Chain A
Amino acid sequence: MSSFYRSGNDDTRVRKLFDVLHIDPVLLCLLLAVCALGLTVLYSASGHSMAMVINQAERLLIGLVVMTAAAQAPPEIYRSAAPWFYGFALLLCALTLVLGDHAKGAQRWLDLGVLRFQPSELMKLAMPIMVAAFLHLFTLPPRWHAVVLTLMLIGLPTVVVMVQPDLGTSLLIIASGGFALYLGGLRWQYIFGALAAIGAAAPILWARLHDYQRQRILTLLDPESDPLGAGYHIAQSKIAIGSGGVFGKGWLEGTQAKLDFLPESHTDFIFAVFAEELGLIGICVLLALYLGIVGRGLYIAARAQDSFQRLLAGSLAMTFFVYVFINMGMVIGLLPVVGVPLPLMSYGGTSMVSLLAGFGLLMSIHTHRKLLAS
């Protein structure tokens, strides 16, 4: 019996520690679980490169530190700093166009001497903060002029990122802003109206396009029509996933990745390696973890106390899901190849750090709630 009490004591002590650190243990566990899976698959996907795993683990540590740091500041700080943050991110994005480093034909990177990173990742965070903070100024649901201004706030950085060109990130930036607007109560009429307008404009736009432009779009939509370029990636990726079957070929046993048939196997296409080696069962576990993170995010959003926090938390959670969905959809040939990494798993520093910073915001929102009289 005594041991039961002792463990109970330990439990409360741990809980207190989390409270002090402003950490949400549920979210932390889910994140660490996904990251652990990520590092495991990375070892296989990188061709048994311990160096890359250690590199990625270092970024994870940095990310956790950043997350913890971000969680310490109360949400109000972010709200008041939103315009500065947004402006700073926008400036860096614009700078990238001028000074940016070329990587794979796109100017996404900014080299700050010590740190090389993608400012568009910063924008992924700044955008929902900005939109949430902006809509917080109005009574919700927003009136049309507020909506128009919000759309301008979303549109400007989107265009800057899109011309880099980074289609995937600009989509995520639109999504993060758009979700905040959606949660802010944007009228369904507007939402459906906008969708209908896009639907109506598409054929007209299509008719005005040049043949080569159409071809490019068709290839984007149906990569397998281009078996040597993007189609090759998708074809090999589908082979990897399909051949994994229900139980997978086993960790380190995936031939597609190991033998270099799978391009970008440790970055954008790491999910294919995962699917090949761990099969449908592994995928279900991974999806459950991802959904758990999204669910916890939406739970935090539901419990948040003002409209800024609600909109920000909800937007962050939903954007994270879109992130996962776009990557997986791309890798399994459901969506065009747009170059979005699998969050927390793909090899790469900026995305890892900015994602964890986002979860730091969520934790800040969750742990700085003021106790209401019940």
Chain B
Amino acid sequence: MYMTRIGVAVLVCLSMTSLLVYRLIGLQVVDREYYATRAEENRMRLSAVPPVRGLVTDRNGVLLAQNTPAFVLEVVPEQVENMDALLRALRPVLNLDDVEIARFKDRVSKTPRYRPVPLRGNLTMEQVARFQLNRFDFEGADVTATLTRSYPLGSAAAHVVGYVGGITEEEFKKIEAAAYQGLTQIGKVGVEKSHENELRGTPGAKIVEANAYGRPLRELEYRQGAPGKNLVLSLDAKVQMAAEKALDGLDGAVVAIDPRNGEVIALVSKPGFDPQPFVAGIDRTTYKALLDDRKRPLYNRALQGAYPPGSTLKPFMALAGLEYETLQGGHGEYCSGSMSLPHSTRKYRCWKRSGHGWLDMAGGVIQSCDIYFYEVAQALGIDRIHTFLSLFGLGHPTDVDLPLEKSGLLPSREWKMRTRKEAWFPGETLNIGIGQGYMTTTPMQLAQITARMAMRGKGFKPHIVHAMQDTLTGATTQVLAEPLPAIPHRHAQDWETVINAMVEVTASQRGTAYRVFKDAPYRVAAKTGTAQVAGMSQDELRARKLTETPFHLRDHALFIAFAPAEDPKIAVAVIAEHAGHGGSAAAPVARQVMDQYLLGQILYNLPVDPGAGAPVTAASPAAPVELIGSPGSASVDEE
């Protein structure tokens, strides 16, 4: 009886043990892999090592975007004996206020105690020094260096270089999270945005073993990331600064391109803005002020501004006339100051009310006669104008490697029918002839068509990044010029005919830009333009003097030019909003840009200040600028 009970007990023990073993086999044999993975997940912590963003320099190595050390004071709560005492001690050193201290305490309460909590960022050198001097009084606090993006040229290159800022929620949805491990910022505009992928680099990763409280104990694996590539822009900081300075007091844009390879030498949009506040996270008031500014400083006029090209289009119209052989031979056209179309009473006027008299094509370009080009346009008709100007790329973005570029508008019958549901009127063709009406172009496009004119139809896609440098190997990869299909032309000499006329614009006393260029030591092919601002009739406008017109309705001053005319090295487009005549307001800007680029110094309008000493570029010899990637370096003084 008793032995039976013992026997039953033994059986029960054995069966219960089997149950345990059965369960253990389930855990340790059947599901081992699952639990092993869970155990690894438990202990491994992946912490990203953010890559250092690539630098941006101009073609001569001048820094445009760099990473500067910023000092942050951090506190490790675990190492602090008495937090209140520490904060009291730090208060005078950092000029802490109560709000900051309250925020800091809030952060401390939300962070594990072994992890550093930032108390104050962007310490001044003085604050760092004062901290270091008494550092033994601040047990648990330390100054650490981080890198922040900074832009040495400030607002002068803000529209080209752009800026980085915190990744917004919207951006976060679009980016690949793995590529931004450990990163908090992203390129917002300019090169920082368009070349974000090259500049960013690849985040590395540290796999650390951490305990249940998240404290990292040892490094298990280090996955090397790669720093971002350094970008060498084709931009020339000196030219950029010169252009910026030349536009001083004006709103507008300057774009300068090397016609031989499409490299952007300068790109200015005024007014500019200071990119620095965006990096640290711009405050609401500053940002609102920028947005509300009537002059729209954040708006990149060089790429986004669509302006009527005005008379700067005339050389291209002349070229079209030559191509289609529609120009009048002999005496050319007669300008009486106005004309009208058959079956219409509307008068189309020349800017010169007294008229230019008989003019051939060159005369029409040199004196910028409106009547002449009304006739040219009428003879061509809108379809041929559209076809011909399309070859230059008008109506399409130039695809320069910068964000937010607009396409401008090259109107056509089809376009008008599609958007306005209206047939094309013959009078509208006349307006196109002088670059008015529906037609708009961006300064970038103007510079590009000027470059193509300079290259006699050949051309390259404009680009701003000249080379990329691998930061690890130091190897530099040149960005190759991307040739565009050459503009076919029946008579090769037509290019020279038009270019000669453009040269006369600056060289002939009758030329509209003669005054600005008369002493230039290089030959310039150019065209001035004065574009009417929509909203005012031609007659109304002509009747008034510039100063009497409300500012926002005043003419835009435009100017396109390339030089040296026989061996073009730079093509420039300038627009100065509401500044009046192209010859007087925009041409000097182009002159200074070209002076700086071709001569290394500005000859035009040197500041008349004998006490100021040496001119801006006195330090560098006045030798012609060595052009990167150009075969040989022909002196501009050769002519």
Binding site for B on A (CB under 8 A): 141, 179, 182-183, 185, 236, 238-246, 255-256, 259-261, 275, 279-280, 283-284, 287, 291, 294-295, 298, 301-302, 310, 314, 317-318, 321, 325, 328-329, 332-334
Q: A291-B13, A302-B3 are in contact. Are A241 and B27 (CB under 8 A)?
A: yes
Q: Which residues of A contact B20 (CB under 8 A)?
A: 287, 325, 328-329, 332, 334
* Given A245-B36, A260-B211, A294-B13; 14 other pairs, CB 8 A cutoff: A182-B5, A182-B9, A242-B27, A242-B34, A259-B211, A260-B212, A280-B29, A283-B24, A287-B21, A295-B10, A314-B6, A318-B9, A318-B13, A328-B20
Give, as a whole number of angstroms, the nearest-CB distance from A308 to chain B.
13
Cα–Cα, bound, A294→B29 (Å): 27
Give, as a whole number of angstroms, the nearest-CB distance from B229 to chain A.
39
Which among A185, A239, A301 is the interface contact of B39 at CB below 8 angstroms? A239
Cα–Cα, bound, A275→B5 (Å): 33
Q: Which residues of A contact B17 (CB under 8 A)?
A: 287, 291, 325
Which among B3, B19, B42 is the interface contact of A256 at CB below 8 angstroms? B42
- Is the C-beta of B209 less than 8 angstroms from some C-beta in chain A? yes
**A298 and B9 contacting across the interface, CB-CB below 8 Å:** yes
**B6 and A242 contacting across the interface, CB-CB below 8 Å:** no
Complex interface residues of chain B between 4 and 25 (CB less than 8 A to chain A): 5-6, 9-10, 13-14, 16-17, 19-21, 23-25
Cα–Cα, bound, A61→B29 (Å): 37
Cα–Cα, bound, A261→B14 (Å): 32
- Is the C-beta of B541 less than 8 angstroms from some C-beta in chain A? no
26 CB contacts below 8 A, A to B, read A141-B1, A179-B9, A183-B2, A185-B2, A185-B5, A241-B24, A242-B36, A242-B38, A242-B39, A245-B29, A246-B28, A256-B39, A259-B209, A259-B212, A260-B212, A261-B39, A261-B211, A279-B28, A280-B28, A280-B29, A291-B14, A301-B6, A310-B2, A318-B13, A321-B16, A334-B19
Which among B35, B43, B212 is the interface contact of A242 at CB below 8 angstroms? B35
Q: Which residues of A contact B1 (CB under 8 A)?
A: 141, 185
**B13 and A243 contacting across the interface, CB-CB below 8 Å:** no
- Is the C-beta of B31 less than 8 angstroms from some C-beta in chain A? yes
Q: A298-B6, A314-B6 are in contact. Are A246 and B29 (CB under 8 A)?
A: yes
Cα–Cα, bound, A316→B2 (Å): 15
Cα–Cα, bound, A16→B32 (Å): 49
Cα–Cα, bound, A179→B213 (Å): 44
Give, as a whole number of angstroms, the nearest-CB distance from A147 to chain B.
15
- Is the C-beta of B217 less than 8 angstroms from some C-beta in chain A? yes
Q: Which residues of B contact A334 (CB under 8 A)?
A: 19-20, 23
**B24 and A255 contacting across the interface, CB-CB below 8 Å:** no
Q: Which residues of A contact B43 (CB under 8 A)?
A: 255, 259, 261
Q: Which residues of B contact A260 (CB under 8 A)?
A: 211-213
Q: Name the prevailing secondary structure of the B interface residues.
A: helix
User: What sequence of 0s and 1s flags, for each residue 357-382 of chain B, a beta carbon within 8 Å of any chain A beta carbon?
Assistant: 00000000000000000000000000
Cα–Cα, bound, A236→B13 (Å): 27
Give, as a whole number of angstroms, the nearest-CB distance from A51 to chain B.
20
- Is the C-beta of B46 less than 8 angstroms from some C-beta in chain A? no
In the A-B complex, the 7 residue pairs with the smallest Cβ-Cβ separation, listed nearest first, are A242-B35, A243-B39, A260-B212, A259-B211, A242-B27, A243-B36, A243-B35
- Is the C-beta of B210 less than 8 angstroms from some C-beta in chain A? yes
Q: A185-B1, A243-B35, A325-B20 are in contact. Are A275 and B28 (CB under 8 A)?
A: yes
Give, as a whole number of angstroms, the nearest-CB distance from B35 to chain A.
3
**B210 and A259 contacting across the interface, CB-CB below 8 Å:** yes
Give, as a whole number of angstroms, the nearest-CB distance from A177 to chain B.
15
- In this complex, what residue of A is CB-closest to B29? A246
**A314 and B39 contacting across the interface, CB-CB below 8 Å:** no
**A261 and B42 contacting across the interface, CB-CB below 8 Å:** yes
**A243 and B9 contacting across the interface, CB-CB below 8 Å:** no
Cα–Cα, bound, A152→B31 (Å): 46
- In this complex, what residue of B is CB-closest to A332? B23
- In this complex, what residue of A is CB-closest to B217? A259
**B6 and A183 contacting across the interface, CB-CB below 8 Å:** yes
Per the CB 8 Å criterion, the residue count for chain B at the interface is 35
Interface centre among B3, B16, B27, B211 (most CB of A within 10 A): B27
**B27 and A238 contacting across the interface, CB-CB below 8 Å:** yes
Cα–Cα, bound, A239→B42 (Å): 9
**B32 and A245 contacting across the interface, CB-CB below 8 Å:** yes
Which among B38, B210, B211, B217 is the interface contact of A243 at CB below 8 angstroms? B38
Cα–Cα, bound, A275→B23 (Å): 13
Cα–Cα, bound, A330→B430 (Å): 94
Q: Which residues of B contact A182 (CB under 8 A)?
A: 5, 9
Q: Which residues of A contact B3 (CB under 8 A)?
A: 302
Cα–Cα, bound, A245→B374 (Å): 91
Cα–Cα, bound, A236→B42 (Å): 9
Cα–Cα, bound, A261→B211 (Å): 7
Cα–Cα, bound, A298→B32 (Å): 35
Which among A179, A239, A318, A329 is the interface contact of B38 at CB below 8 angstroms? A239
Cα–Cα, bound, A329→B27 (Å): 13
Give, as a whole number of angstroms, the nearest-CB distance from A44 to chain B.
15
Q: Which residues of B contact A280 (CB under 8 A)?
A: 24-25, 28-29
Interface centre among A179, A259, A280, A291 (most CB of B within 10 A): A259
Give, as a whole number of angstroms, the nearest-CB distance from A183 to chain B.
5
Interface centre among B6, B23, B29 (most CB of A within 10 A): B6
Q: Which residues of B contact A236 (CB under 8 A)?
A: 42
- In this complex, what residue of A is CB-closest to B1? A185
**B212 and A255 contacting across the interface, CB-CB below 8 Å:** no
Q: Which residues of A contact B42 (CB under 8 A)?
A: 236, 239, 255-256, 259, 261
Cα–Cα, bound, A234→B25 (Å): 17
Give, as a whole number of angstroms, the nearest-CB distance from A42 to chain B.
19
**B13 and A241 contacting across the interface, CB-CB below 8 Å:** no
Cα–Cα, bound, A291→B12 (Å): 12
User: What sequence of 0s and 1s flags, for each residue 41-74 of chain B, a beta carbon within 8 Å of any chain A beta carbon?
Assistant: 0110000000000000000000000000000000
Q: A260-B212, A325-B20, A329-B20 are in contact. Are A244 and B13 (CB under 8 A)?
A: no
Give, as a whole number of angstroms, the nearest-CB distance from A294 to chain B.
6
Cα–Cα, bound, A301→B9 (Å): 12
Cα–Cα, bound, A185→B5 (Å): 8
Give, as a whole number of angstroms, the nearest-CB distance from B222 to chain A.
19
Cα–Cα, bound, A317→B35 (Å): 34
Q: Which residues of A contact B39 (CB under 8 A)?
A: 239-240, 242-243, 255-256, 261
Q: Which residues of B contact A301 (CB under 8 A)?
A: 6
**A244 and B19 contacting across the interface, CB-CB below 8 Å:** no
- In this complex, what residue of A is CB-closest to B4? A185
Give, as a whole number of angstroms, the nearest-CB distance from B37 to chain A.
8
- In this complex, what residue of B is CB-closest to A186? B5
User: What sequence of 0s and 1s flags, for each residue 202-220 of chain B, a beta carbon within 8 Å of any chain A beta carbon?
Assistant: 0000000111110001000
Q: Which residues of A contact B27 (CB under 8 A)?
A: 238, 241-242, 332
Cα–Cα, bound, A241→B38 (Å): 11
Cα–Cα, bound, A275→B29 (Å): 12
Cα–Cα, bound, A284→B21 (Å): 8
Give, as a whole number of angstroms, the nearest-CB distance from B28 to chain A.
5
Q: Which residues of A contact B13 (CB under 8 A)?
A: 291, 294, 318, 321
Q: Which residues of B contact A275 (CB under 8 A)?
A: 24, 28
Give, as a whole number of angstroms, the nearest-CB distance from B535 to chain A.
68
Cα–Cα, bound, A340→B217 (Å): 32
Interface centre among B3, B20, B25, B28 (most CB of A within 10 A): B28
Cα–Cα, bound, A229→B531 (Å): 76
- In this complex, what residue of B is CB-closest to A284? B21
Q: Which residues of A contact B31 (CB under 8 A)?
A: 242
Which among A179, A239, A328 is the interface contact of B35 at CB below 8 angstroms? A239
Give, as a whole number of angstroms, the nearest-CB distance from B212 to chain A.
4
Q: Which residues of A contact B24 (CB under 8 A)?
A: 241, 275, 280, 283, 332
Cα–Cα, bound, A280→B25 (Å): 7
- In this complex, what residue of B is CB-closest to A295? B10
Q: Which residues of A contact B28 (CB under 8 A)?
A: 241-242, 244-246, 275, 279-280, 283
Cα–Cα, bound, A275→B35 (Å): 13
Complex interface residues of chain B between 190 and 236 (CB less than 8 A to chain A): 209-213, 217
Q: Which residues of B contact A310 (CB under 8 A)?
A: 2
